[in-house]
A and B are shown apart, each in its own frame.
Chain A
Amino acid sequence: AQSVTQPDIHITVSEGASLELRCNYSYGATPYLFWYVQSPGQGLQLLLKYFSGDTLVQGIKGFEAEFKRSQSSFNLRKPSVHWSDAAEYFCAVGDSNYQLIWGAGTKLIIKP
């Protein structure tokens, strides 16, 4: 069965430091992969997605993610975080029925 694992429930990072959020998936075919972010009081917003082609994907707000088929991973990165990046981040994979299978989310806490 398809699944998505986000191993870190919480991550704390100092403002200005680099960030990497982990995402591992289980899916038989070439996956469609997504990262969404939910800021406090807001709906989820799409950061970036991978369908095919270049395995390094650029998204909004300075985020990028790299698809690594050999590791079944799609980790999200940002070189320097800002206080406004504090939010919950969700990784998802699109299944054969065009529905999304979601991870449990990672809460990002920014230290001043």
Chain B
Amino acid sequence: EAGVTQFPSHSVIEKGQTVTLRCDPISGHDNLYWYRRVMGKEIKFLLHFVKESKQDESGMPNNRFLAERTGGTYSTLKVQPAELEDSGVYFCASSLRWANEKLFFGSGTQLSVL
């Protein structure tokens, strides 16, 4: 069974540019989560999809971040325009039901904004 896949694994962009991160969850997992970890800090929740609907987007930092999950399969997280403070590791996770169940994580996208 394929795990959660994230692409790219690393991205280096300049301030003001746009970056799109992609996450392919485990097939059949309705729940998809985005998290972010700034270096050395705790992992922070960004948002939660149930199928194609945003269940909870309370963790999204601001309107420069746009997440989509068209068709309830893969998800994208776009940052436009990127700022220096957006640097960090962006994790995607999926689960059959909800987060208080087992989460399956991708290996993350390391985003560096210069």
Contacts and interface: CB of A to CB of B under 8 A. Distances in A.
A-B complex is real: yes
Interface of A: 4, 9, 32, 36, 38, 41-46, 49, 51, 90, 92, 94, 97-105
Contact of B100 (A36, A90, A94, A103): A94
B100 A98 contact: yes
Contact of B104 (A43, A97, A101, A103): A43
Nearest to A90: B43
Contacts, number: 53
Interface of B: 3-4, 35, 40-45, 48, 56, 91, 93, 98-100, 102-108
B91 A99 contact: no
B42 A103 contact: yes
B99 A43 contact: no
A44 B102 CA distance: 11
A99 B102 contact: no
Contacts of B108: 43
Contacts of B103: 36, 44, 46, 100
A30 to B, nearest CB: 12
A44 B91 contact: yes
A8 to B, nearest CB: 13
B69 to A, nearest CB: 17
Contacts of A36: 103, 105
A45 B45 contact: no
Contacts of A90: 43
B106 A43 contact: yes
Contacts of B42: 4, 102-105
Given A42-B107, A43-B104, A43-B106, A98 B4 contact: no
